[in-house]
Amino acid sequence: MSRYRLEYMKKDTARYLSHRELMTTLQRALKRASFPLTYTKGHHPRPKLSYGPPLGVGVAGLREYMDLELDRQISSREYIQFLNDQLHPGISARDLVQLDPADMGLGKFINLACYRIELDSAISSAITTISWEQLFNKLEEEYPGLKEGLLKWCADPVEGYLEVLMQVGQEGVSLRNLLEALNKGIGTTVLLPSLVTRTGLFHLENGMITDPLNKCTYLL
């Protein structure tokens, strides 16, 4: 048995797939690409696949991950190509690495996500009256936990985007709550999931940030 981690992206129109739709899509693409998937036993065998934190309908993801168990070792280069030949527009496989047998798995590993929210001019001008600083300070009131979960944020009014680094899997901390809170704070409804891109998923431990392919480590 070999375990692999796949890095893929979901963007353009594919951003409108729900997590479930994406899972089915990937699973069928892996099948068509003849990956030697390992299946569970029993009457209703399922491939042993596990996915990173779900991405909401409308949200794009540039570096998303899934773990797969395979019956044998494969050539990553070759199989990325096979897979990409079977993927829908907007979804593509970027990297495939074999995991250390001791790897804790995506579910435990990922506890941090980075989101980028596009702001249109309407928001940027509305925001001049109330500063981002004030806005984020006010988040606390209605969404307990949200503020602590937001480790970092930065707004770039010139480029027109807002970037946030947010904990994953904490009570009350979710993109949905954040968008809701921001919309309320600014007094709009225009911050929709379709303006959001998840740019990365990470593991944070002792002030150090690592990506799931273990390629880079940063300081928080």
Which residues lie near other proteins (CB under 8 A)?
Answer: 13-14, 16-18, 20-21, 24-25, 27-32, 39, 43-45, 47, 57-58, 86, 88-90, 192-194
Query: What share of residues in the chain are helix, strand, coil (percent, to 5)?
Result: 35, 30, 35
- Nearer to other proteins among residue 54 and residue 169 (C-beta): 54
Question: Least separation, in Å, of the C-beta of 218 and other proteins?
Answer: 32
d(CA 14, CA 90): 5
Question: Least separation, in Å, of the C-beta of 8 and other proteins?
Answer: 16
The two structure tokens encoding residue 59:
């949200």
DSSP code per residue over 145-206: THHHHEEEEEEETTTTEEEEEEESS-TT--HHHHHHHHHHHHT-S---GGGEEEEEEEEEET
Question: Least separation, in Å, of the C-beta of 129 and other proteins?
Answer: 26
- Angle (nearest 5°) at CA 15 between 12 and 19: 155
Reported in sequence order, the residue ranges of the chain that DSSP labels E, i.e. its strands, are 2-10, 49-51, 60-70, 91-98, 112-118, 150-156, 161-167, 196-205, 208-210, 217-219
- Nearer to other proteins among residue 59 and residue 106 (C-beta): 59
Question: Least separation, in Å, of the C-beta of 200 and other proteins?
Answer: 23
Q: Which residues contact 95 (CB under 8 A, 6 or more apart)?
A: 6, 7, 76, 80, 213
Question: Least separation, in Å, of the C-beta of 215 and other proteins?
Answer: 30
- Nearer to other proteins among residue 198 and residue 203 (C-beta): 198
Q: Which residues contact 195 (CB under 8 A, 6 or more apart)?
A: 117, 118, 119, 120
Using the structure block, give the residue that is written with the tokens 């946030």. Answer: 164
Question: Least separation, in Å, of the C-beta of 102 and other proteins?
Answer: 28
- Nearer to other proteins among residue 124 and residue 194 (C-beta): 194
- Nearer to other proteins among residue 88 and residue 94 (C-beta): 88
- Nearer to other proteins among residue 19 and residue 147 (C-beta): 19
Assess contact for 115 and 49: CB atoms under 8 A: no
- Nearer to other proteins among residue 87 and residue 165 (C-beta): 87
Question: Least separation, in Å, of the C-beta of 28 and other proteins?
Answer: 3
